[in-house]
Each structure stands twice: as structure tokens, then as C-alpha cells.
Structure 1
Amino acid sequence: MSGSADRRPLWDGSLRRHLTLVYGLMFFTAAAAVLAVSLVLVINSMHYSMDLAFDSYTGGPQAPPEVRIYLAERHAGDEATKRVILASMQRNLLLKGTLAALCVGVVATTAGWLVAGRLLRPLSLISSTAERIAGHTLHRRIDLEAPPGEVKTLADSFDRMLDRLDQAFAGQDRFIANAAHELKTPIALNRTLVEVAMSRPDAPPEVLRLGENLLAVSVRHERLIDALLTLARADDSLTERLPLDLADLARAVIEAAGPEARRHGISFDAVLAPARAIGDPLLLEQAVRNLVDNAVRYNAPADGRIRVETGRGRDGAQVTVANTGPVVSPHEIPVLFAPFRRLTDRVGSARGSGLGLSIVRAVAHAHGGSADARPRPGGGLEVRLAVPAVPPAPPRRNG
């Protein structure tokens, strides 16, 4: 049952199959029509020829009775012979004509399959190029070398569209870089001024408290800008793909988050099995860091726990972070991955920018992977990040 369910149906989305099937049906329909018309024409011609070949003279009224009886018997025999000949000819023509039509139809349908593949080869080239462009970079072009026609026009239109998209994304990257510089420079300047004001010996306590609040706001704004830049970079094509292990990234993130987790009375349970992948180390580390930071930030009990697991699963190399905390309804899960959305009514905290899980999903999609979440029984959340894994190396043979 499973094998039959996995087979592709004949009438699926393949244009080559569609064209071949339509061509084959048209050929067999035309062959049946030609065979039927040929049969009618041959039968009429045989009737005419046999009427000329067989004498239909009956002797007339002047002939003796014996002659008339003989001629009538011979005429009846001739008619029976003609019926036998016509029936045999009809059966022979139907049988051999049908066999010939089937043989020629199979050859013609096979030729149609080959011709359709030849004609659709430029479309396959366009599709494969589009897939490579969608997965890697906008700098590639189709550059179809073909005579002028509909397919050539389509390829050239696609190339012009890619030119405009490339220019638009390049402008977006420049805008992001300029905006980051223009936003982070005044924030850094304000932080410096506040720190200088707080470092004065005669600074009153009110100024110190105000300075601490302003520094906290500045730190939050810097984190928001960094998160926006990371989200924009993750949505763009990857510029760096290196071999890495998600277990190493998770180990470093857990070590960095340990002091803050201990301040909140949160402990880690880490099961870090090898999870080798190829991707951008900075983006993947940021994604894992966001998972752990969210688990620390929204861990409600004083003695909360966070479990971090890495390994190789059905979807590739993956890291899973689960924390204790408030109960989250299943219908609220999609909201968690939307930018600037936080379940503040559930977790009782407005800390963070609301971009943590949005960045995780953007990084996963940029690597061709996935990110999903599900509520934990009794409260809390479990979030899983999966990216394509590195194929295992073949075993070495001795000798």
C-alpha cells in the first residue's frame, strides 16, 4: 500500500506528461477515424469489384427452366462467396489495421515524449536557474541562448526582473547599513554622555538613578537595532556557508547565559549530541542564543529549568530548547513567530524586542530549514530549530 501511494499519478503537474498524453490521444483518435473511413471505402470498392467479377445473368424468360434453375443456384453461391470474402476482408483489415495503428501509435507517442522533452528543455533550464537563484543569490542570470520566440522572451523577461530585484535588494542592504550607522551612533553618544555624567563625583543620587534608567533604555535600543539587523540579514541570501556543529554553538551559548540563569535560579539540562550542518555560524549562533535567552527570560518559576538538546533528526541537524513557565495555548503559537509580538499577558514580562523567535525562523528559512514550537504539558514552551545536516561520511574500508 505504501509503495502504490508513493507512485506519481499519470496526470500530475508535469507539462511533458500532459503534452505526450494529449499527443498520444490525438494520434489514436485520428488513427481510429482513418481506419473506420478506410474500412468503409474498401468495403464499397470490394462490392463494386465483385459485382463486376461475378456474372449476375439469370437467363431471362426465354431460357429453359433447367438453365434458369442452374443460373439461380450459381447466383446464390456467388452471393455466399461474396459475403464470405467481404467478412474475411473486414476481419483482416480490422485486425491488421488495429495492430498497425497500435504499433505506430506507441512509436509516435514515444517520439512525442522525446520531442516534448526537447521543446521543454529551455523551460527546465529556466526552472532550475530560478531554484538556484532562490536558494543562493540574485546575481545569476539565465542567459538563454535560443532563437527568438516565446521561451526566449520569457527567459529575457525573467532576467530583467532579476536585475530589478538585485538592484532593489542592493539598495535595501545599503539602507540597512546606513540606518544602522545613523541609529547606533547617537545611541552610543548618548550612552557616553550619561556615563560621563554619572562618573562625576558630585552627581546627586537622582542623577545616578536617572542615568541607570537611561543606560538600560540605551542597551535595549541597541539590542533592538542589532535584532533588526540580524533579521534583515537572515532574510537575505546567505553569504557564508561553513561546516559547523550545533552542539558546539549550543555549548557556548549555555556557558554565556549561565550567570544570568543562575541569578534567576534557573538550571540547565544539556544533552548535546553531534549535529553537524553547513551554514552561517554567526546567524546560527544568534538563533540558538535567541532560543536560550527566551527560555531564560520567560521562565516563570523561581526554580525553573531549561533543557537544551542537539542531535540529528528526521529534518536534519536540530537544536531543541524547552523551558518551564506559564501555560501557552496551541492557538497562540503562531503569534510567537510574528515580529514585535509578545505574549506579555501570559508571561507577565515586556522584556525583549519581540523579535527573538522571528529571527530564529528567518535564520532557519535562510538555511533551508524550519523552526516550530509547541506547548509543554504543565506549562512552558518547546522550540525546535532544524537545518539540513551534513551527510554522514562513508565508512572506511580496511585495506
Structure 2
Amino acid sequence: MGLTSQISGMRVRLRLTLLYGVLFLLSGAVLLTITYLLVGHAGSDIAMSQRSTSPSGEQGVSIFLGATFPKDVRLPEAERRVAEAIQEQSVRQHAEIMHQLLVQSCVALAIMAVVATVLGWLVAGRVLRPLQTMTNSIQHISARNVHERLAVTGPRDELKNLADTIDGLLGRLDAALDSHKRFVANAAHELRTPLTLEHALLEETVTDPDATADSFRAQFEQLMVVSEQQARLLESLLVLATSERGLDDLESVDLSGLTGDVLRAAEPEARRQDLAVTAEVRPARVTGAPALVECLVANLVDNAMSYNVPDGRVEVATGTEGAGSFLSVVNTGPPVPPEMLDRLLSPFQRLDRTADDGHHGLGLSIVQSIAVAHSADLTVRARPGGGLAIKVLFPAEEAFSVPVV
């Protein structure tokens, strides 16, 4: 790769050198042409006067180089011959001077063309040297040392801006790789836990010599619960990956209708937990993927019900705000430290990491990912008495644009 980069750099340097040389030749040729024409025009207008005296001692006429004598002007024969000879001599001298000027100018232009080509090669190398340095540095950056930066110093010019832009890109790539590594590690940990539990249950069933049909049934019921948890985890990971990839098909989605459907489906769980659910569902429409919008609403409602307190409440509202539409979910619950809010939006983050309630800390991270995919603003704040107040503000339907992921 280094040899290819050097060859490519030499090609660019050669092209710049040829460009400099051609521009110099064209400029020099134009300059010499203008000079040649000006000198030639000035030479034809220069008049040299010579006074002659006739044999009788009288003053003769003035003779001008390049002048023509009218027919009615009669000069002595000797003076006319002298004038014609001087005129012919001046014409020959002017032609010879112009010829020498042209030859010497071409020689000077050829010499300066060589000098300009050499200087162009040196200047092109000087100009491309920072680019070559940046290219070599970038080629040595991989996933193992993506934290390194170009850190170009100097005045704020185009090359400095390019280097800073590349450093910013490397910084975002470094953060994305770190997030990916943490996500993979957390996902592996979350998947390892139910697999270990499954293996323990199966091993206990197989190795128990006094196992009965009832014990087998109880073990299988536990295995079904663990299997359902794994299925929910895999489904959540799939939704998270889909939302982070971006949106393909966009539709007009009835946000209020989806919210009503989710709340009706959650009524049995709300009654089981003795939660008071109040809803103020006003008409609201957004542009996006219906399945992802429904998943966003379901995760917010599930999060509000799962992390609540006995005899708690959940308040859900939809409507319009300005030109956009919003979804608001407020719930009671345990106090949430303000410094935990950003962490709760990351995958596999829960207030109580030891809780074995079938949740994997993906709910709010999925909500954030879907909100970003829909260019929506997600606001999460801790309530003074405990619980969270979450609001998702979707942009106006005509102003929606798919973000670059």
C-alpha cells in the first residue's frame, strides 16, 4: 500500500509540475509576443534625421528614415541616393534587430522553461509533502490505534482544515468502535446468563435420580421462561440494530392511534401491578416507520410500568407542539440520580444491575435510537419525587429528513 501511495503521489506531483510548466510557457510566450509587437511598432515609428549639404554650400533637406518623397519634391540626385541608401540600411538593421530579438527571446524562454519545470517539481513536492505525511499517518491507523490523531500544526489553511476534519472523523470512529465493543461485551454477558441458567436446569434434571414428572414439568416451565427472556433480548437487539441502520420506507403514522393500541395491550400488566394509567391521547401524526414508532411507544410504556413503585401511576399523552407532534410518558418510581440519565440511554444500563426481572436495559437505548432515526428530539429528566419524565418531539411531516447514520 505504501508503494502504491508513493506512485500515486508521484503522479500528482508530475501533473502539478506539468501544469506549472505549461502555464509558464503560455505566459512567457504571450509576454514575448507582446514585447516583440511593441518593439516592432516602435522601431517603425522612430525617425532619424540627417542634414545634408549640397555641393553649392546650400543647406539640403532633412532625410527621415522610412519617409517617402512626393513626386513634386525634387531633390538633388546625390541627396536622393544618400536618402535611399540610408533608408535601405535602416530597414535591414531593423529586420536584423527584430530577428535577433526573436531568437534570443526563444532561447531565453526555453532556458526559463527548464528552470520553471525544475522549480515546479520542487514546489509541487513542497505542496504535497503535508498530504503525503497525512496519508502515511492514516495508513498506519487501524482498529488497534484509532485513538491516534494527525495533530497537524501551523496556520489555519486548507490543509490544516483537512487534517482537523480527519481528526474529527477519527474521533467519531474511535467513539463508535468503543461503543461497539461495549455493546458486544454487554450483549455476550446478557446472553451468557440465560444460557448458563438453561444448562444448570438441564443438568439438574438429568443428574437427579429421583426426578419425577412434576419436577420435570417445573424445570421445563423455568426453561420456557428463560427461553422467552432470550427471545425478547434477541428481538430487542434486532430492533436496535435496525433503527441504527436508518429508515428505508417512510409512511404517515398515526401516533395517537398506536399509543392507544399499546395502552390497551398493557392494561392486564397495569392491573397486575396495581398501576394507575392515565392517558390524554390527542390526534398526532408523524412520518416514519410504523413498526419502529410502535416499538418506541411500547418500550416507553413498558419502561414506565416496569420501573415503578407499588400503587404508582403512569401518565401518557400525545398531541401537537408547534409544527411537530409529541409523545410524553411520565411515571412514578425510585429516585433517579441526574448523573444516571445519560447512562440509562446506553445499552444494557439499569438502575439495579442485579435485578432479574427479564429486562436487559435496552428499552431506553432503543427509544433513543429510534428517535434519532426519525430526527426526533428525546428529552429525559428525573422527577423530584422519583421516576422519569420522557418526551419525544417529532418534526413536522413536511420537514422530516432521514439522518445520515
TM bracket, shorter-chain basis: 0.3 to 0.5
Tell me the TM-score normalized by structure 1.
Answer: 0.47
Tell me the TM-score normalized by structure 2.
Answer: 0.46
